[in-house]
A and B are shown apart, each in its own frame.
Chain A
């Protein structure tokens, strides 16, 4: 029995079962599908949605917007991280921008961006905006935290600038970059779907969540939320599978 509890899969299944039971018990206690659908009601709504083309199109559109925003946010944020780590002047000039993006509530941005961009592009841009400061801070932090002794060693052994970048800086920044990817993906999903709820693009999980709420279809609302969680989890696992190997030395 002790060995069974040490098995990771069994442990994960057991924990999931405990929480599903808590959810089911709460649904029984509430006694209304409208207020709190049970796990069964949610699963049934999800299965039913899976049979519709609109579900898949909405998932695909949200996935594209969130992932494109995430990729652009990581790219621009990393470039800004390199720039501000290399130049104290750039850091002084650009850091207020980073602080503003970090501190402004996402809903303010969504409403503001809707004035300039289409409802289909707004979620993409919001995801980009939320990921940007995360990548920026982590990459700049990683560069500045590069071991000074290794930099001295590289100078003594005559490493060229490109070699220093490839052999010393890049591997040292990589764990910070990977950490930015996991945090950034979560933020991209949350902010992207929130933007869809407000912006109402033609297809998108956020729009579907809003409509489920509007028509009081609570099991569907739960099912769409479950779809977001599953997609977010799957995408994070995929990114970690690709990047996790690069920091094996840790």
Chain B
């Protein structure tokens, strides 16, 4: 996926100005900036929910991004396991991914029965079970303590393999944890 000179504004207010980045195999890109600088807007452009005012987003045929949204967006009527299974495309076992997210004992719980950090890990597990590429992570470690962040980051890297990763964050340490080789500041 290539993002070429993309600009976007909400009405008269410019949000993104001439942003370019490349998400080819092996690339790990972090997009950083304070709140309201257009980080999530960039994600929405990449996903095709909105169209850029100028520039272009070149997607490869059959490219299916896996996303951890800024909000968990879990189905409240499904257990943790069923939430992950719903997105799974038959690659890694959803139960195994949830175990890697340290949620073995909580697979049968509904989202409302899980803490914020646990819900976050279910959302990460869902994106990993989907197995798409690139892996788009919008504030993926929200609500996780520092030790947990390290362990989860390692596992994300393990599952992503050589696939490209786009991390959206305001914390540079998270970019280090995911071994990002390029940082774009908005």
Chain A residues in contact with chain B, CB under 8 A? Answer: 149-150, 152-153, 156-159, 163, 167-168, 171, 249
Contact = CB atoms under 8 A, between A and B. Distances in A.
B141 interface: no
Contacts of B121: none
A157 B77 contact: no
Interface of B: 47, 49, 64-67, 69, 71, 73, 75-78, 86-87, 89, 110, 112, 126, 130
Contacts of A168: 75
B59 to A, nearest CB: 13
A149 B75 contact: no
A48 B150 CA distance: 77
A157 B76 CA distance: 17
A167 B75 contact: yes
Nearest to A170: B77
A150 B64 contact: no
A150 B75 contact: yes
Of A157, A158, A159, A171, most buried by chain B (CB within 10 Å of CB) is A157
A208 B114 CA distance: 56
B65 A156 contact: yes
B73 A149 contact: yes
A153 B69 contact: yes
A171 B110 CA distance: 14
Q: For chain B, what secondary structure do more than half of its interface residues adopt (helix, strand, loop), or is it mixed?
A: loop
Contacts of B78: 167
Contact of B86 (A149, A152, A156, A167): A167
B126 A157 contact: yes
Of B64, B65, B73, B110, most buried by chain A (CB within 10 Å of CB) is B73
B110 A249 contact: yes
Contacts of A153: 67, 69, 73
Contacts of A157: 66-67, 86-87, 126, 130
A249 B71 contact: no
Given A156-B67, A157-B126, A159-B86, 9 more contacts: A149-B71, A149-B73, A152-B47, A152-B73, A153-B69, A153-B73, A163-B86, A167-B86, A249-B110
A249 B65 contact: no
Contacts of A159: 86
A244 B159 CA distance: 40
Nearest to B127: A157
A150 B72 CA distance: 10
A249 B77 contact: yes
Nearest to A150: B73
Contacts of A150: 73, 75
Nearest to A147: B73
Nearest to A163: B86
A73 to B, nearest CB: 26
A173 B67 CA distance: 26
Contacts of A152: 47, 49, 69, 73
B38 to A, nearest CB: 18
A159 B64 CA distance: 12
Nearest to B65: A156
A172 to B, nearest CB: 8
Contacts of B126: 157
A153 B43 CA distance: 13
A-B interface, 8 closest residue pairs, ranked by CB to CB distance from nearest: A157-B87, A249-B77, A171-B77, A153-B73, A149-B73, A156-B67, A249-B110, A157-B130
